Amino acid sequence: MTAQLIDGVALSRQIRTELAQRAAALTSRGHTPGLAVILVGDNPASQVYVRNKVKACHDTGLHSVLEQYPASMSEAELLARVRALNEDASIHGILVQLPLPAHIDAHKVIETISPLKDVDGFHVASAGALMVGQEGFKPCTPYGCMQMLKAIGCDPRGKHAVVIGRSNIVGKPMAMLLLQANATVTVCHSATPDLAQHTRQADIVVAAVGKRNVLTADMVKPGAVVIDVGMNRNDEGKLCGDVDFDGVREVASWITPVPGGVGPMTITMLLVNTVEAAERVAAAA
Ligand code: NAP
């Protein structure tokens, strides 16, 4: 079997077309959705990420501001900027690009963002809402993975899902979303002794580790759906995921490519969260 590709670029285009209409409707009512992106320091990868996010906003009819600060910015100065954006009515979502310089406590910064503007879904209020099944912003990457499953008609109900990785921004919320969707969920991590024993039983595998070839063909049940969140570089310096794509695509039924899979969906779900934040404000006005 050769797996079908879950095309994150095409799905993103489809979702963004619909989002542009929602953004235009909000704009006509005086509530143009606004995203503020803060970048501290000159990490080259972060610069690319924030530029892509700002461009995606402009292309979809959202207002966006990019605030760039030197790595010498103090924690107090950054917290003051976040508080000012919390009060800014033209801004519905605030994103502080991670990682931050070592002298700044990222947790403190995230907890300073108003939960009403936490479009990255990293605030403990958002994590708590996800945990207990209340309304809140879902972290963009796992939210995008769930949209991909939906797009291929894969209902997680009754399926065994294995998530590899347990970070606060990908693995843990991914597991919670799959659980909410009635999958039976196993979470694996660096202390899992026999990863393959778990993945071989999975109908859905989500790899979110950050290491090449964590998942190889012999570790995958024939017909499984494989979502590759990882972003790594191969020996030629090209972007690749955590999954041995060429091998696993011969065993799986569906697979996400890297690039062109989860990455574009992450940005798209950021736009979705920002439009939702603006819709909530507009509904309350
Ligand atoms: P992270 O915070 O470094 O977490 C990695 C997780 O993988 C940890 O839970 C770690 O376990 C686990 N792990 C490490 N080695 C393992 C092994 N050999 N077997 C099983 N589990 C292992 O990374 P992250 O922020 O979740 O990101 C994961 C990957 O996704 C990275 O490549 C990142 O660049 C990528 N990513 C992509 C997008 C996108 O939009 N495409 C978005 C976010 C992240 P412990 O907890 O035990 O250490």
Using one digit for the tens of pLDDT, what is the confidence trace for 111-136? 999 999 999 999 999 999 999 999 99
Q: Which domain holds residue 104?
A: 30-114
Q: How far is the CA of 170 from the centre of ligand 1 (A)?
A: 8
Is residue 47 within a helix (H) or strand (E), and if so which, with residue range?
Answer: helix 44-60
Q: How far is the CA of 207 from the centre of ligand 1 (A)?
A: 8
Return the pLDDT at 16.
98
Q: For the segment 148-187, what is each residue's pLDDT rounded down to a tens digit?
A: 999 999 999 999 999 999 999 999 999 999 999 999 999 9
Return the pLDDT at 66.
97
In this structure, the answer to whether residues 194 and 109 fall within a common structural domain is: no
Q: Is the pLDDT of residue 37 over 90?
A: yes
Q: Is the CB of 186 under 6 A from ligand 1?
A: no
In this structure, the answer to whether residues 252 and 144 fall within a common structural domain is: yes
In this structure, the answer to whether residues 161 and 249 fall within a common structural domain is: yes
208 bridge partner residues? none
In this structure, the answer to whether residues 146 and 256 fall within a common structural domain is: yes
- Is the CB of residue 95 less than 8 Å from the CB of residue 106? no
Q: Look at ligand 1, atom 18, and give the residue with the nearest C-alpha.
A: 190
Answer whether residue 145 is part of any domain. Answer: yes
Q: Is the CB of 141 under 6 A from ligand 1?
A: yes
In this structure, the answer to whether residues 42 and 147 fall within a common structural domain is: no
Q: What radius of gyration do the chain's Cα atoms show?
A: 19
Burial of 97 (C-beta count, 10 Å sphere; 0-12/13-18/19+): buried
In this structure, the answer to whether residues 156 and 258 fall within a common structural domain is: yes
Return the pLDDT at 161.
99
Is 97 one of the annotated active-site residues of the chain?
yes
Return the pLDDT at 164.
99
Answer whether residue 72 is part of any domain. Answer: yes
Answer whether residue 126 is part of any domain. Answer: no
Which pTM does this prediction carry?
A: 0.97
Is 120 one of the annotated active-site residues of the chain?
yes
CA angle at residue 134 from 107 to 169, to 5 degrees?
35
In this structure, the answer to whether residues 208 and 98 fall within a common structural domain is: no
Q: How far is the CA of 231 from the centre of ligand 1 (A)?
A: 9
Share of the chain above pLDDT 70, in %: 100
Q: Confidence band (pLDDT; 50, 70, 90) for 257? A: very high
Annotate 224-234 with b (16+ C-beta within 10 A) or e (fewer). Answer: bbbbbbbbbee
Q: Could you tell me which of 223, 213, 224 has the C-alpha nearest to residue 247? A: 213
Q: Look at ligand 1, atom 42, and give the residue with the nearest C-alpha.
A: 141
Residue 259: is the preceding peptide bond cis (ω within 30°)?
A: yes
Return the pLDDT at 1.
75
Q: Is the pLDDT of residue 138 over 90?
A: yes
Q: For the segment 46-91, what is each residue's pLDDT rounded down to a tens digit?
A: 999 999 999 999 999 999 999 999 999 999 999 999 999 999 999 9
Q: Is the pLDDT of residue 146 over 90?
A: yes
Q: Is the CB of 208 under 6 A from ligand 1?
A: yes
Answer whether residue 15 is part of any domain. Answer: no
In this structure, the answer to whether residues 194 and 102 fall within a common structural domain is: no
Answer whether residue 120 is part of any domain. Answer: no
Tokens 């107090």 belong to residue: 76
Answer whether residue 212 is part of any domain. Answer: yes
Q: What is the DSSP letter of 161?
A: E
CATH number at residue 234: 3.40.50.720
Count other Cβ atoms within 10 Å, centred on residue 103: 10
In this structure, the answer to whether residues 54 and 158 fall within a common structural domain is: no
CATH number at residue 62: 3.40.50.10860
167 a known binding residue?
yes
5 bridge partner residues? 255
In this structure, the answer to whether residues 151 and 255 fall within a common structural domain is: yes
Q: Which of 114, 130, 160 is the last residue of a domain?
A: 114
Answer whether residue 134 is part of any domain. Answer: no
Answer whether residue 135 is part of any domain. Answer: no
Residue 224: both structure tokens together? 């499984």
In this structure, the answer to whether residues 73 and 169 fall within a common structural domain is: no
Number of structural domains in the chain? 2
- Is the CB of residue 260 less than 8 Å from the CB of residue 7? yes
Is 105 one of the annotated active-site residues of the chain?
no
Return the pLDDT at 140.
98
Work out which ligand 1 atom sits closest to the CA atom of 242: 32
In this structure, the answer to whether residues 256 and 149 fall within a common structural domain is: yes
Q: Confidence band (pLDDT; 50, 70, 90) for 29? A: very high
